[in-house]
Amino acid sequence: MNVETPIWRQVRAAIVAEIAAGEFPPGTPLPAEKLLAERFGCAIGTIRRATDGLVAEGALTRQQGRGTFVAGHTPERSFRFFHLRPADGRPLLPDTQFLDFARLKATPAQARALGLAPTAPLLRARHLQCLAGEPAMLEELWLPETLFPGLDGQRFAGRPGTVYDLYQREFGLSVTRIEEQLRAIAAPARIASRLGLAAASPVLMIERVAFAVDGKPVELRLAWADTTSLAYFNSRA
Amino acid sequence: MNVETPIWRQVRAAIVAEIAAGEFPPGTPLPAEKLLAERFGCAIGTIRRATDGLVAEGALTRQQGRGTFVAGHTPERSFRFFHLRPADGRPLLPDTQFLDFARLKATPAQARALGLAPTAPLLRARHLQCLAGEPAMLEELWLPETLFPGLDGQRFAGRPGTVYDLYQREFGLSVTRIEEQLRAIAAPARIASRLGLAAASPVLMIERVAFAVDGKPVELRLAWADTTSLAYFNSRA
DNA sequence: CCCAATTTGTTCGTATGTATA
DNA sequence: TTATACATACGAACAAATTGG
């Protein structure tokens, strides 16, 4: 009479909920598999089944002999979502130049993308990503103010690590999935000049929505990339 | 004393090899897990572990009560690699207009991308992908002649299903993974006119290498997409 | 229509190997 | 060395879906 959801899914959901609730800050180990099995009243294999997906997504990392850890948004981890590389495919860490920070109202399209009420208050941060010292991509980050209480330009620009690391450490929002739309457009004048391009040069425009472990959208990001000597790398199995 | 590769990896490799050798044509069921366990002298769980990855990649499909099948390249399956959609994200099957077919020599860059000797003979097919009746993307397919013996324009254009279905049915090459590079460029005159665009309009250029189950590169594909009312959709966990 | 055989899906428990502290 | 934790592997049982009689 088991038409219910499998135990491993229930366990997975429970663990995700605990992580999303901030019970295990990034870098801390989950209870050992044996303990989890006891706590949830199931077999160790079921615990593994439940965590396998999280490990594959990068939300957890397992280390033989040490434990299972909630993945922090180290540069390498965030890098999973950074697709811009030189033509040879060699991964290159970008460095970021902060531009400005503002508080605005959502447009209908933005509200829809983030699942918010129309004209909900948003925070907007803009910065420039540089690769090998050259301006590579201009980015606009749009954040629901309710999810990022008290965030301002100082705290944003003064963060130590990556943007997603900030979301996770300070607001308990762990980005694990993104959805992107890519288009080729003629660069608007303001953007072209920031990238050191002639006006109306073709640029790669990226529209991203980032989701937290629990599936909630937490960020809308618009980006304009100069792909004359770089490319957006994607690989699918 | 087990420093060797795990059994499940060996089993996986063996199954992949058999599929690549054409022992199980697409659509046919693999031997039941119990049989495979006996044949390989291991437990059923180990068989499942071995096939889990193939299922995730879409090379196999499991159906409770029926069996485990070698996935054919149905339109839906090939669709996993088709990323162009209207802005609303609604998936839309393209239809294809054949343009031409030729036999040429590889450029150094093409040979490198396909892992071939310089100036190896290549087959080139060109076609136009249309979405909702409108020209959406121009594609150039470059194929190593040695992998596609006897392929010509007639057989290419006259195929019943998708391109990848042709590769699999007639040449035993099952595409399971692709790597892509995306760039925004100004459309060359010939391409712009095919897409019904003004010369030098921004288009999304896609460079793809497709790999078979066994990891061998089998196709180099260049594509130019009109993204004025379409977008390239990508999602990563 | 029901029944039985087959096949995958889920879950359990256990044992051993290997890496870490 | 010892204890802990994950990695691999085995075997068993039952559930659920499918198929064919």
- Note the pLDDT of residue B41: 96
Question: Do the Cβ atoms of B183 and A232 come within 8 Å?
Answer: yes
Whether A204 shows a pLDDT value over 80: the answer reads yes
Chain B residue closest in CA terms to A204? B184
| Cα–Cα separations (whole angstroms), residue B234 to A181, A193, B9, B123, B225 | 6, 28, 29, 29, 15
Using a CB-CB cut-off of 8 Å, the residues of chain A touching B80 are 236
- Note the pLDDT of residue B3: 58
Helices (H) and strands (E) in chain A, counts: 8, 10
Identify the three-state secondary structure at position A185: strand
Task: Report which DSSP code applies to B228.
Answer: S
Structure tokens at A3: 């038409």
pLDDT in tens, A152-194: 999 999 999 899 999 998 998 989 999 999 999 999 999 999 9
φ/ψ of residue A10, rounded to 5: -60, -45
Q: Any bridge partners for residue A55, and if so which?
A: none
Q: Which nucleotide is nearest to A2 (CA to C1')?
A: D15
Choosing among 3.30.200.20, 3.40.1410.10, 3.40.50.11710, 3.40.50.11540, the CATH entry for A75-232 is: 3.40.1410.10
- Where does the pLDDT of residue A72 fall: very low under 50, low under 70, confident under 90, or very high at 90 and above? confident
Q: Distance from first CA to last CA of chain A, Å, rounded?
A: 36
- Which of these, B90, B72, B94, lies nearest to B82 by C-alpha position? B94
Contact B73, B161 (CB under 8 A): yes
CA distance B197 to B210: 28
Q: Any bridge partners for residue B144, and if so which?
A: B122
- Note the pLDDT of residue A3: 55
Question: Do the Cβ atoms of A237 and B57 come within 8 Å?
Answer: yes
CA distance B205 to B139: 10
Contact A180, A65 (CB under 8 A): no
Segments of chain B with pLDDT less than 50:
1
Structure tokens at A174: 């762990």
Choosing among 3.40.190.10, 3.30.390.50, 1.10.10.10, 3.90.190.20, the CATH entry for B7-70 is: 1.10.10.10
Q: What are the residue ranges spanned by the domains of chain B? A: 7-70, 75-232
| Average pLDDT over all residues of chain A | 94
Contact A35, A121 (CB under 8 A): no
pLDDT in tens, A45-70: 999 999 999 999 999 999 999 999 99
Q: Which of residues 55-74 of B touch strand C (CB under 7 A)?
A: 62-68
Identify the three-state secondary structure at position B236: strand
